[in-house]
A and B are shown apart, each in its own frame.
Chain A
Amino acid sequence: SQQGEEDPQALSIQEGENATMNCSYKTSINNLQWYRQNSGRGLVHLILIRSNEREKHSGRLRVTLDTSKKSSSLLITASRAADTASYFCATDETSGSRLTFGEGTQLTVNP
């Protein structure tokens, strides 16, 4: 079952703007991962943040994790049209070795 909830479900912004997506979860986790999926394609791993980390950066991506609130956010700075895709958070739960995916955010970056 899906434990993650993401908001917004859809986000439309102009090129150059920042995009923020949020993810909430319910159980204890080892880490939380963000993935990107272009329409009809496989998933691309973006970034992993461990449960003892609060913030992580990778290029134009910034991820935060608040384990007390069981939430995470993904910030894409200076967005580009090529960033248009669906973004999913996935939690690696302490109770098992599998990933549980959120519902996803459809990001559209308009040129």
Chain B
Amino acid sequence: GAVVSQHPSWVICKSGTSVKIECRSLDFQATTMFWYRQFPKQSLMLMATSNEGSKATYEQGVEKDKFLINHASLTLSTLTVTSAHPEDSSFYICSARSTRGETQYFGPGTRLLVL
């Protein structure tokens, strides 16, 4: 099956710093990638939809200047959490939809802890 990787798998940072998370589709091309956030014992909340070569579409309530998304190629999207604060601590998961398919394939997630 299709594989999506995320890097890093976990990160601890100080408040005020920026953190970049990478999402890669390893064996297929993804015109669309999605970024989700999941708090403990809760469901996934869509943050933004990332389209290759264009600006990301953010969900209501998600600050685009705080969560910078870049989808520069058909296999890579990045999420940068700028000036991170403790309340940004969460599990961030990306997914990718292939150019031909209906299924989204999810990465293993990145656990962010902001101290």
Contact = CB atoms under 8 A, between A and B. Distances in A.
Contacts of A88: 43-44
Contacts of B44: 43, 88, 101
A22 to B, nearest CB: 15
Interface stretch (B13-21, B69-77, B80-88, B99-107): B99-107
Interface in B1-48: 1, 4, 6, 32, 34, 42-46
B97 A97 contact: yes
Contact of A44 (B32, B42, B45, B106): B106
A68 to B, nearest CB: 22
Interface residues of B, number: 24
Contacts of B105: 45
Interface in A67-111: 88, 92, 97-104
Nearest to B60: A1
Contacts of B34: 98-99
B12 to A, nearest CB: 15
Given A40-B111, A99-B34, A30 B102 contact: yes
Contacts of B111: 40
Given A2-B43, A102-B43, A48 B106 contact: no
23 contacts: A2-B45, A35-B106, A40-B109, A41-B108, A42-B4, A42-B6, A42-B93, A42-B106, A42-B108, A42-B109, A43-B93, A43-B106, A44-B106, A45-B103, A45-B104, A45-B105, A48-B102, A97-B97, A99-B34, A99-B95, A101-B43, A101-B44, A104-B43
Given A33-B104, A88-B44, A98-B34, 15 more contacts: A2-B45, A31-B102, A40-B111, A42-B4, A42-B93, A43-B44, A43-B106, A92-B102, A97-B32, A97-B49, A97-B97, A99-B34, A99-B95, A103-B42, A103-B43
Interface of B: 1, 4, 6, 32, 34, 42-46, 49, 91, 93, 95, 97, 102-109, 111
Sorted nearest first, the 6 A-B pairs with minimum C-beta distance are A43-B106, A42-B108, A42-B106, A101-B44, A42-B109, A101-B43
